[in-house]
Amino acid sequence: MKATFIYGAGDVRVETTADPVIQFPTDAIVRTVRSCICGSDLHHYHSAPASEEGRSIGHELIAVVEEVGADVRNVRKGDFVVVPFAFSDNTCVYCREGFQTSCVHGGWYGTPAAAGLQAELARIPQADGSLVVVPDIDPDAADEALLKSLLTLSDVYLTGYHAAYMADVKPGQNVAVVGDGAVGLSAVLAAKQMGAERIILMGRHADRTDLGIKFGATDVVAERGADGVAAVKELMNGEGVHVVLEAVGHMPAYEQAYGIVRVGGVISRVGVPQYEAAPIGAQSLFRKNARLAGGIAPVRAYLEPAIQQVLNGEIDPGKVFDRTVTLDEVPAGYAAMDAREALKVMVTV
Amino acid sequence: MKATFIYGAGDVRVETTADPVIQFPTDAIVRTVRSCICGSDLHHYHSAPASEEGRSIGHELIAVVEEVGADVRNVRKGDFVVVPFAFSDNTCVYCREGFQTSCVHGGWYGTPAAAGLQAELARIPQADGSLVVVPDIDPDAADEALLKSLLTLSDVYLTGYHAAYMADVKPGQNVAVVGDGAVGLSAVLAAKQMGAERIILMGRHADRTDLGIKFGATDVVAERGADGVAAVKELMNGEGVHVVLEAVGHMPAYEQAYGIVRVGGVISRVGVPQYEAAPIGAQSLFRKNARLAGGIAPVRAYLEPAIQQVLNGEIDPGKVFDRTVTLDEVPAGYAAMDAREALKVMVTV
């Protein structure tokens, strides 16, 4: 099969490699319908050390089950499935509490435990826990817009949703979203679903913030830093917002977040932090009783109802895809996202 | 009247000063029944810069109203009241949301806005919002144990309660309390009130942890650092605790907290952070979806039901007082708390 490997910063290649095979009785082999490129793949694209062997990459996928191991009960050959970006048994003590990204038998794609998913075929560990069937849809006959929206449930939309969920967004609340990337726009859509009244999108790319407005943003703030804080506070009667959804992961975005959060409000982060230490003392969080939430999104926890919302046409998160490439064109897809020529790139086989 | 002033590190003096007078029609003048010394007063005791004039100090008080300003409606001369450690109008947008320590007309004692409360008399700004009457109790005839418990509602018990409240402790949860000072012991009592199942008290002073056990701690862990993390995890089946109540404010206590918090759990801080930046990235909070809560306790928000709990004998937080001094002896009280000879010192007039 063909699969994607990263050999170092800026060096992504599509190569022929051996087809995956069942290694454990809990595995499944799936055939790609669509995969895509994630903002977090770009972190590797920027900083992966040079490597002789290359490392397989990709973690977002919708697919059809080709083969299942002897112990797999919940999916079977021919099922059309969404593949969450982390695998999990969905039965361990953490999975049962809704934190499948901390599954004691779980793990990540593009690691020794499981190859990356920007490929024609993939081995899915813990298939019973990881895969969720999309009922009554033939992917070969499905509308492209539907496939796009289902694909976002593998990571990007439900990562944005996780931010809103962990912030416990309530009807009538004021929400600010820091970041107009695909996760930030997904967080806008999720906050809208949860009944937020004002949704302030902080971003400066008009094509992206325009989509944010379609998803439910009521205000756009292009300013950053102290100007951005002042602009949000002015919109909020000087008080800041109840909820900040931080969808970037860099320190300036976090600084923006604690600048605009209201007394007693919450910052919920889903952008993977590119820092370890950050302000949380009297001047940032403590004095105003601001809280901090979020983390690596357990998208598996939210998948069944989200699939129904997509099938019912209640949400259309697939609009974040503004470019489609074939698997052979994946390196060009990385380059386009890196250059911000594309918001998010879908990959066909 | 006599009042307490701090002239520099280790230099606390009781001096005669002018009686306070009504300055604003929303003020009240109160006469001290009991005040006390706070762990946070010790921060000043350790680090106050030398001063020619001295600064008045103290912020915990139960008192009898002597006089009220023309606009005061909720209290009158002769009322026995609890004085929260911050004053607030209790009507502003933040007060109405339960964050009276962020009141737009609020402030702090021992500042230019209001003198300290380790004194015979005090001026209370925003008296209608700040003071809460203790019904049907004559302080001159009241039991000393009752006065002690009422006095803790000015700060220490309700600060510990705020930690548990912001963590949203639920029946059956496992809670760890970092710190065996008076706030930590109060947090144990609050967690017990909220139905915690296991309450692990982290502390190494047997006389203090013994009181923690009376308040509801089920386990005591004396180890610190990596040994402390290992000891708590061993008690918790390797998984950490749902809730960590951090009642110290120093970095090692925070590090302890993120080491023992469970996947998806919450750290709630009420010890005033002696740091601004601290770990919150992938290795500390993000990967395990741990949350951070807490802040400066709005004790005013919790005062009416807490007074009833004390009057009904449901809670006895006054046990944290293990020494009583007169106002003239306050400097010795500071020294005793600083030397850890006393857990918490009550002050009579």
Q: Which of B93, B239, B276 sits opposite A283 (nearest CB)?
A: B276
Q: Model confidence over A16-74: pLDDT tens digits?
A: 999 999 999 999 999 999 999 999 999 899 999 999 999 999 999 999 999 999 999 99
Q: Which of B93, B275, B286 sits opposite A296 (nearest CB)?
A: B286
Q: Model confidence over A128-186: pLDDT tens digits?
A: 999 999 999 999 999 999 999 999 999 999 999 999 999 999 999 999 999 999 999 99
Contact A291 B97 (CB under 8 A): no
d(CA B193, CA B216): 9
Residues of A in contact with B239 (CB under 8 A): 93
Q: Which residue of B has its CA nearest to A98?
A: B264
Residue A245 to residues A68, A226, A265, A271, Cα–Cα distance (Å): 38, 18, 11, 9
Sign of the CA dihedral A311, A313, A317, A319?
positive
Residues of A in contact with B168 (CB under 8 A): none
Q: Domain A160-294 belongs to what topology?
A: Rossmann fold (3.40.50)
Q: Model confidence over B40-81: pLDDT tens digits?
A: 999 899 999 999 999 999 999 999 999 999 999 999 999 999
Residues with Cβ within 8 Å of A79's Cβ and at least 6 positions away in sequence, in order, are A64, A65, A131, A133
Interface of B with A (CB under 8 A): 93-94, 97-99, 101-102, 166, 239, 263-264, 269, 272-273, 275-296, 298
Mean pLDDT of B173-188: 98
d(CA B341, CA A170): 48
What is the model's pLDDT at position B343? Answer: 97
> ∠ CA(A166), CA(B93), CA(B98), 5° rounding?
60
Probe site for chain A from B263, B266, B275, B300 (most A CB atoms < 10 A): B263
* Tally of helices (H runs) and strands (E runs) in chain A: 11, 19
Q: What pLDDT band is residue B122 in, cutting at 50, 70 and 90? A: very high
d(CA B102, CA A263): 7
Q: For the domain B159-294, what is the CATH code?
A: 3.40.50.720
Q: How far is A258 from chain B (nearest CA, A)?
A: 13
Are A250 and A271 in contact, with CB atoms under 8 Å apart? yes
Q: How far is B235 from chain A (nearest CA, A)?
A: 16
Contact A292 B292 (CB under 8 A): yes
Residues of B in contact with A98 (CB under 8 A): 264
Q: Which residue of B has its CA nearest to A249?
A: B281
Q: Model confidence over A234-290: pLDDT tens digits?
A: 999 999 999 999 999 999 999 999 999 999 999 999 989 999 999 999 999 999 999
Contact B293 A291 (CB under 8 A): yes
Q: Model confidence over B206-228: pLDDT tens digits?
A: 999 999 999 999 999 999 999 99
Contact B289 A298 (CB under 8 A): yes
Token pair of A74, please?
């919940």
What is the model's pLDDT at position B56? Answer: 97
Q: What pLDDT band is residue B171 in, cutting at 50, 70 and 90? A: very high
What is the model's pLDDT at position B132? Answer: 98
Q: What count of residues does chain B have?
A: 349
Q: Model confidence over B299-322: pLDDT tens digits?
A: 999 999 999 999 999 999 999 999
Q: Model confidence over B254-270: pLDDT tens digits?
A: 999 999 999 999 999 99
What is the model's pLDDT at position B60? Answer: 98
Q: How many CB pairs under 8 A join A and B?
A: 117
Interface of A with B (CB under 8 A): 93-94, 97-99, 101-102, 166, 239, 263-264, 269, 272-273, 275-296, 298
Are B164 and B313 in contact, with CB atoms under 8 Å apart? no
Q: Which of A94, A284, A290 sits opposite B276 (nearest CB)?
A: A284
d(CA B260, CA B267): 9
Are B149 and B337 in contact, with CB atoms under 8 Å apart? no
Q: Which of B263, B286, B296 sits opposite A273 (nearest CB)?
A: B286
Q: Model confidence over A174-229: pLDDT tens digits?
A: 999 999 999 999 999 999 999 999 999 999 999 999 999 999 999 999 999 999 99
What is the model's pLDDT at position A279? Answer: 98
Contact A276 B283 (CB under 8 A): yes
Residues of A in contact with B94 (CB under 8 A): 263-264
Nearest to B331 by CA among B57, B121, B32: B57
Q: For the domain A2-155+298-348, what is the CATH code?
A: 3.90.180.10
What is the model's pLDDT at position A215? Answer: 98
Residues of A in contact with B287 (CB under 8 A): 102, 295-296
Q: Count the Cβ atoms, other than its own, within 10 Å of residue A131.
A: 27
Nearest to B21 by CA among B123, B109, B127, B115: B123
Q: What pLDDT band is residue B155 in, cutting at 50, 70 and 90? A: very high
Token pair of B28, please?
């009240």
Nearest to A119 by CA among A27, A22, A32, A20: A32
Contact A97 B264 (CB under 8 A): yes
d(CA B140, CA B231): 47
What is the model's pLDDT at position B337? Answer: 96
What is the model's pLDDT at position B274? Answer: 92
Q: Give chain B's mean pLDDT.
A: 97
- Measured in Å, how far apart are chain B's first and last C-alpha atoms? 11
Q: Which of A99, A273, A284 sits opposite B281 (nearest CB)?
A: A273
Q: What pLDDT band is residue A83 in, cutting at 50, 70 and 90? A: very high
Task: Determine how β-strand B80-83 pairs with β-strand B61-68.
Answer: antiparallel
What is the model's pLDDT at position A301? Answer: 98
| 3-state percent helix, strand, coil for chain B, nearest multiple of 5 | 35, 25, 40
What is the model's pLDDT at position A207? Answer: 94
Domain locations along chain A: 2-155+298-348, 160-294
Residue A172 to residues A191, A250, A314, B99, B282, Cα–Cα distance (Å): 11, 29, 20, 19, 31
What is the model's pLDDT at position B338? Answer: 96
| 3-state percent helix, strand, coil for chain A, nearest multiple of 5 | 35, 25, 40
Contact A282 B276 (CB under 8 A): yes
What is the model's pLDDT at position A65? Answer: 98
